Amino acid sequence: MGRAWASAPAKIILFGEHAVVYHRPAIAMPVSQVKATAVAAPGRPDTGIVIHAETIGRQYLLDAAPPEEPLAYTCRSVLRRLKVTQEPDVTLSVRSEIPIASGLGSGAATAAAAAKALARWLGWELSPAQVSAIVYETEKIHHGTPSGIDNTVVAYECPLWFQREQPIEIFQVGIPLSFLIADSGQSSPTRHTVGDVRQRWTENPARYEALFDGVARIVHAAREALEQGDLTRVGKLMVENHALLVEMGVSAPINDALVEAALSAGALGAKLSGGGRGGNNVILVEPRHAQRITEALYAAGARRVLKSTLTT
């Protein structure tokens, strides 16, 4: 049997993180410039599945992996869904260029690539809905109570309007969008910020519900502005969304410094993206100003700045 290859993109949340956990809508987009990839290749007879997590330099047998090990969990979900009872002899090598714990969905992308490659090797093409469901189960290990937005966007690989327990909507953007994605170099596991927000929401539900409603209003306005191609308005709404994330307590000085630096250098909008307290900021730019804004971001402490373009 030959080899089977699969990949999955990183993602950014353009609007609505954290509030999305509380059933408000959010807008997310794939970032195909950075990817997770997986290759399934024939293994030695009678070894079963060998997982090679290349990025962290670990290789182990599926049979010997603890139940909560995310890649092992993903493989078991695939086998169960495809009703494969006899473990195949396959080496599944997985690598990711996506920085971990930084709001770019590295865990979800890695699991999606692994699930698709293993299924393909077994002769199955998983649908985006199947990939999303498998990755959602794995995401619960990383996040505890994920909203489902990460697994959905990396599985469908297109801009999405997402709201829990509602059908997902593939999103039409009226104009090409140019983003910079600035890595703060500070990583913060999403389950920590999600857990902190939950605790504060429990202590002060009225305040947090009002913040989430404020985010929902921004997300609705942003959808309209994106569909109309009104980039000035999209940028302003990003800044408003960032202010509410600051009030929720999920920003960090580096996120605020990168927002300030980007806006002072002429960005249309900027905000943290994802779990927060470091991780990545997303910045909406006019392409002719991208270089100047990139330099300002590095000067303000960014570790890496990626360019990402979304065309309609």
Q: Which residues of this chain interact with ligand PMV, rule CB under 6 A? A: 13, 17-18, 20-21, 103, 105, 143, 146-147, 149-150, 190, 194, 274-275
Q: Please, what is the minimum distance in Å from the beta carbon of residue 102 to ligand PMV?
A: 7
Check: CB of residue 164 under 8 Å from CB of residue 136: no
Q: Which residue is nearest to ligand PMV (CB)?
A: 274
d(CA 106, CA 111): 9
If 0-12 CB within 10 Å is exposed, 13-18 middle and 19+ buried, where does residue 102 land?
buried
- 33: its two tokens: 């410039």
Check: CB of residue 147 under 8 Å from CB of residue 35: no
Check: CB of residue 137 under 8 Å from CB of residue 79: no
Q: Please, what is the minimum distance in Å from the beta carbon of residue 194 to ligand PMV?
A: 5
| Residue of 46, 150, 213, 256 marked catalytic | 150
Q: Please, what is the minimum distance in Å from the beta carbon of residue 70 to ligand PMV?
A: 13
**119 or 154, CB closer to ligand PMV?**
154
Check: CB of residue 179 under 8 Å from CB of residue 284: yes
Is 63 designated active site?
no
Q: Which of 295, 293, 298 is nearest to 268 (CA)?
A: 293
Q: Please, what is the minimum distance in Å from the beta carbon of residue 286 to ligand PMV?
A: 25
**9 or 146, CB closer to ligand PMV?**
146
**52 or 220, CB closer to ligand PMV?**
220
**121 or 156, CB closer to ligand PMV?**
156
If 0-12 CB within 10 Å is exposed, 13-18 middle and 19+ buried, where does residue 175 land?
middle
What residues are annotated to the active site?
150
